[in-house]
């Protein structure tokens, strides 16, 4: 926050450590420091590196071993923001303070505002000067900027949340601002200022064409949805929007947790160990005697039983294991929704967890997953899973504790053949 009184709006700036971006970020922060605003910088990467000389900036680090996901960083920033007026801005764009404030004032009457309509690209020398004074290029004609949500976007929080925030399916360069623009034009009241933004110089990184092609496929796929499917997608894609722990691996090794897939399909049941993390990873058929012996020998402290065909977010696994380790009781991995997901979501090779799409359903045969502490893993309870009657399992745990989240199922594969390739990678490697 750049003042002592509560701010009236929040800047949210995504950041990835690339050549020239740190210097440009400092320039942007220098130019907005006198505005009475909350400023949040979200650094995304495999290692925390960003150091800032401004104590009034809130810095958030989110771990990711993957390509930059700008939408995710922006959603995390929105979750951290304490105001209801959000300014999403790149780390290399300058606006006059008067244009920023004019755009903010328009949020009294509109859901979304683009505070400029053209961009002037600064030279390297002009960008160096910008740290001290506004660049000497006021008369230079800029290029038209036709993407409403690109660069700098101002939104009311209520409107932002009503259209599902930024779509986190887009990785690398391109697509996320086009889709946000499309949603704004379709559902919100918006306005655009005829002002100029100034783009700070930096070396251009070659975009990953494979990621770009993937982003185009995502956008084209969503573009084919009818209104009902699109609204469903927007609603359910926001379930885990802005989760800063999205790519943090669950510390199964430290808790000696055994993950077991229970196959209730084809009028029979089988249990397969997917990951025994205290020694070596393995995958084989198990029975209640094997499990009882491992528990007695101290090899297993917790067991997570997951129904074949069900999928969960990383944070659900982590929270359930942590809860059953501390409280001792059984913990369900979801507390409300069972969602049939779109049939093509497993084809997404970049994201390590499924993207929800579909309708909330009710099924007596879906029990999802449950985490158990070793202290209650007796032979009778283990027999419940080995026998594999979904109705009995669901009845047994119906009053159990749970963690926040939803259970996702792929409808066409749920009672059919499901391969372990569809499970989160950290549980089957």
pLDDT of the residue at 8: 92
- Are 338 and 258 found together in one domain? yes
Both 423 and 284 in one domain: the answer is: yes
Of 225, 240, 265, the last residue of a domain is 225
Residue after which a domain boundary falls, among 179, 208, 225? 225
Looking at residue 55, what is its pLDDT?
A: 93
pLDDT in tens, 152-180: 999 999 999 888 899 887 888 778 898 89
Q: Mean pLDDT, to the nearest integer, of 394-399? A: 89
Does 3 map to a domain?
no
Once rounded to an integer, what is the mean pLDDT over residues 409-425?
45
Report CA-CA distances (Å) from 331 to 260, 273, 319. 15, 19, 9
Instruction: Take residue 223 and report the two structure tokens written for it.
Output: 């573009």
Check whether 289 has a pLDDT greater than 60.
Answer: yes
Angle between helices 288-296 and 379-387 (to 10 degrees): 150
Q: What is the pLDDT of residues 303-355, one digit of tens each?
A: 888 888 787 877 788 888 888 888 888 999 998 888 776 544 434 433 344 44
Strands of the sheet containing 369-373, edge to edge, are: 284-285, 270-276, 257-263, 302-307, 369-373, 331-332, 401-402
Question: Per the structure block, which two tokens stand in for 255?
Answer: 């808790």
CA distance 235 to 281: 37
pLDDT in tens, 212-246: 887 887 788 777 777 766 776 666 555 567 777 77
Helix (H, G, I), strand (E, B) or coil at 14: strand
Question: Which of 292, 375, 368 lies closest to 327 in space, CA to CA?
Answer: 375
> Within this chain, do residues 134 and 194 fall inside the same structural domain, yes or no?
yes
Give the total number of structural domains in the chain. Answer: 2
Q: Are residues 257 and 115 in the same domain?
A: no
Q: Do both 22 and 134 map to the same domain?
A: yes
Instruction: Please tell me the predicted confidence (pLDDT) of residue 160.
Output: 93
| Residue of higher predicted confidence among 34 and 350 | 34
Instruction: Name the strand (E) or helix (H) holding 212.
Output: helix 209-223
Banded model confidence at residue 189, pLDDT cuts 50, 70, 90: very high
Residues 195 and 321 both lie in one domain: no
pLDDT bracket for residue 43 (50, 70, 90): very high
Let me know if residue 93 belongs to a domain. Answer: yes
Q: Work out the burial of residue 40: count CB atoms within 10 Å of its CB; fewer than 13 is exposed, 13-18 middle, 19 or more buried.
A: buried
**Structural domain of 387:** 252-427
**pLDDT tens digits for 57-79?**
999 999 888 888 999 999 999 99
DSSP 103: H
Q: Is residue 237 part of a domain?
A: no
Are 213 and 88 members of one domain?
yes
In a domain, 1, yes or no: no
Which CATH number is 148's domain given? 3.90.550.10
The answer on 398 and 316 residing in a single domain is yes
Residues 221 and 277 in one domain: no
Give the model's pLDDT for residue 252.
Answer: 53
Task: Examine residue 167 and state whether it is found in any structural domain, yes or no.
Answer: yes
256 and 115 housed in the same domain: no
Any domain includes 306:
yes
Measured CA to CA in angstroms, residue 214 lies from 195, 211, 226, 289, 342 at distances of 33, 5, 21, 46, 17
Looking at the structure, tell me whether residues 299 and 188 fall in a common domain.
no
Q: Are residues 159 and 267 in the same domain?
A: no
Q: Residue 293 domain-assigned?
A: yes
Q: Are strands 310-311 and 338-340 parallel, antiparallel or unpaired?
A: unpaired
In a domain? residue 2: no
């Amino acid at each position: 926050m750049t003042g002592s009184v509560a701010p009236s709006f929040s800047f949210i700036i995504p950041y990835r450590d690339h050549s020239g971006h740190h210097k440009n970020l400092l320039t942007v922060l220098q130019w907005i420091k006198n505005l009475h605003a909350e400023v949040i910088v979200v650094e995304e990467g495999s290692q925390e590196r960003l150091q800032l000389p401004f104590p009034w900036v809130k810095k958030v680090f989110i771990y990711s071993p993957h390509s930059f996901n700008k939408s995710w960083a922006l959603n995390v920033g929105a979750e951290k923001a304490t105001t209801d007026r959000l300014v999403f801005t790149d780390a290399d764009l300058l606006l006059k303070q008067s244009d920023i404030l004019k755009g903010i004032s328009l949020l009294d009457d509109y859901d979304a505002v683009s505070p400029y309509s053209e961009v002037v690209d600064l030279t390297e020398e002009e960008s160096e000067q910008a740290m001290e004074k506004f660049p000497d290029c006021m008369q230079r004609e800029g290029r038209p900027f036709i993407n409403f949500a690109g660069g700098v976007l101002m939104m009311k929080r209520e409107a932002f949340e009503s259209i599902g925030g930024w779509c986190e399916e887009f990785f690398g360069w391109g697509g996320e601002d086009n889709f946000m623009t499309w949603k704004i034009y379709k559902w919100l009241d918006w306005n655009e200022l005829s002002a100029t933004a100034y783009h700070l110089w930096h070396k251009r990184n070659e975009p990953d064409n494979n990621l770009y092609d993937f982003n185009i496929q995502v956008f084209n796929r969503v573009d084919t949805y009818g209104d009902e499917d699109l609204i469903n997608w927007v609603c359910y894609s926001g379930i885990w929007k802005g989760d800063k722990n999205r790519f943090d691996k669950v510390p199964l090794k430290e808790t000696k947790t055994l993950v077991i897939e229970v196959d209730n399909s084809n009028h029979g049941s089988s249990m397969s160990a997917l990951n025994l993390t205290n020694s070596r990873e393995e995958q084989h058929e198990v029975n209640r005697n094997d499990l009882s012996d491992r528990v007695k020998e101290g090899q297993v402290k917790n067991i997570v039983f997951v129904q074949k065909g069900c999928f969960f977010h990383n944070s659900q696994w982590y929270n359930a294991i942590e809860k059953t380790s501390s409280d001792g009781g059984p913990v369900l991995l979801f507390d409300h929704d069972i969602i049939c997901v779109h049939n093509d979501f497993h084809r997404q090779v970049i994201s390590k967890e499924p993207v929800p799409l579909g309708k909330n359903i009710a099924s007596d045969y879906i029990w999802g997953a449950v985490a158990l502490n070793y202290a209650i893993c007796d032979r009778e309870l283990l027999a419940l899973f080995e026998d594999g009657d979904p109705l009995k399992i669901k009845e047994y745990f119906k009053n159990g504790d749970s963690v926040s989240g939803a259970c996702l199922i792929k409808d066409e594969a749920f009672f059919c053949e499901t391969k372990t390739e569809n499970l989160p990678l950290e549980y089957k490697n």
